[in-house]
Copies of this chain bind each other. A is one copy, B any other.
Amino acid sequence: MAIVVSDRPSGRLTEAWRFCVGTGRFELALRRDYQDSLALIQRDIGFRHIRGHGLLSDGVGIYQPYEYRGARQVRYGFGYVDQVVDAYLELGIRPFLELGFMPSALASGDQTVFWWQGNVTPPRSFAEWAELVRATVGHLVDRYGLDEVRTWPIEVWNEPNLKEFWRDADPEAYHHLYEVTAHAVKEVDAALQVGGPAISPGSDEWLVRFAEFVTDRSVPVDFVSRHAYTSGPAQHVPFGVHQTLQPAGHLLEQFAQPRQALAGSALAGLPVHITEFNSSYRPDNPIHDTAFHAAYLAPVLAHGGDLVDSFSYWTFSDMFEEVGVPTSLFHGGFGLLTHRQVKKPTYHLYAFLARMGDEILARGDDHLVTRDAGGRVSVLAWAPVDVTQPYPSPASGGAHRVQLSIPVGTAQTTSAAMVRSTVNEEAGNAWTAWAELGRPRSPRPAQLDTLRELAEPVRGHRSLPIVGGRVELDLTLSRHEVSLVEITAVADETPPWWDESRLLGHER
């Protein structure tokens, strides 16, 4: 039985799904492959902000102490920062600043995180830290203007609730850092947006304590942030891991948590940003490369905007390097794109959403129906996944059916043009194609070309009759499929003299 989609919108598809996207560490943005990848992403998806680690780490070169005439001085080097932000703005994307990690010359210890050694200890001098924050934010305001920088959320540190990211995961030390930092930001301009505490899943109590702290001490806070992941413990193989996953609904539960936790508090009305989310938090889990992953996340993208102001996919590209330089093109990286711009299925999930309208006509466990200002109706349909068991073979019922009766066109229109774009285990699936090619670690140019071609969704098209202002859609989805169906009522310009039967080879 087809679901009868109402002509009346039930809600709006907010921009939460594309408000922000994650990136590998700041200076990776200097790379050409990175910028080429981001250009593609922006053309097809169009994220609004981008957030990653390491703005203040040594590789960016901001904090440079020196001696002159016997006194210690600091010179700030903003050349790389400017190069990156100039590139971002050219590409139509804005920073979502994360202030961290610690410049080693300002650090109180030598604990580091990641292959690239981000220092995760508090500053030796909070006064110098405050000066560094003021100098950096102030420089950005000078160069890009106050109107611009006021639109960039500024988040203090990353996952201080984890020992790997903040020495001893010490909440008091974080609260002090937050307080000093928030004031330093506001000294540059009171209308800049600052927030935190950027916690990882599993430390829900941090949020409540953070709220108490900032309320008690009247510390400025413009938004709250946390992360969301659904993976279990890492089972290691060389250069990779496998992990169990919780159902995708757990992501939505994590999204909902801050609003629930802060209800009634002074922070209750603030914007909530999920500044990182993904299935697995590991940059070497092959699940990220699969069609399964797109189908797994489809309901999250369809529903997440009801719960938060943004949820930022971690990360847009496989260019990352937290566990080292990858040894293989596909290696389970977070990216929507591999190095060198091979699109993964989850890329298309995002690109599909970017082609949808903002009026929600219907939404369910396997579909989202929207309409845009021009009357085009878009259907995102997906085959729900089961994370608890292997997938049944198609012969035993792998196909999934979605039937919808969709309002389209006007009284005058009698047919609609339908375009269907499909990603599944074969279609738009460079990862399975790469497996068939023998999993080449550094594919040759001709293989890269093949992978890029096979990474494109398969597209089909048909004419559908409009009867009673509706078209009947009956979609069969294969294993792990995500399809976008675009339906447009047709204004027929066929001339009266056109006679298909006069065409050679016409269909009888």
Contacts and interface: CB of A to CB of B under 8 A. Distances in A.
A117 to B, nearest CB: 10
Interface in A486-502: 488, 490-498, 501-502
Interface in A76-119: 76-83, 86-87
B458 A459 contact: yes
B326 A387 contact: no
B325 A80 contact: yes
Contacts of A442: 77-79, 81-82, 139, 143
A508 interface: yes
Nearest to A464: B436
Copies in the complex: 4
Contacts of A61: 324-327
A57 to B, nearest CB: 11
A341 to B, nearest CB: 11
Contact of A438 (B30, B329, B417): B417
B503 A87 contact: no
Contacts of A497: 68, 237-238
Interface size class of A (residues with CB under 8 A): 35 or more
A462 interface: yes
Contacts of A393: 507-508
**Which of A33, A143, A244, A387 has the most CB atoms of chain B within a 10 A radius of its CB?**
A33
A276 interface: no
Contact of A75 (B68, B238, B245): B238
A155 interface: no
A80 B339 CA distance: 9
Given A75-B238, A79-B327, A327-B79, A290 B454 contact: no
A325 B79 contact: yes
A508 B392 contact: yes
Interface in A33-64: 33-35, 59-61, 64
Interface of A: 30-35, 59-61, 64, 66-68, 73, 75-83, 86-87, 139, 143, 235, 237-239, 242, 244-245, 286-287, 290, 292, 324-329, 339-340, 385-387, 390-393, 415, 417-419, 425-427, 432-433, 435-442, 444-445, 450, 453-454, 456, 458-463, 479-480, 488, 490-498, 501-508
Given A61-B327, A290-B503, A456-B459, 14 more contacts: A77-B328, A78-B441, A79-B328, A83-B339, A239-B495, A292-B503, A387-B504, A415-B436, A419-B454, A426-B462, A436-B463, A436-B490, A437-B488, A439-B492
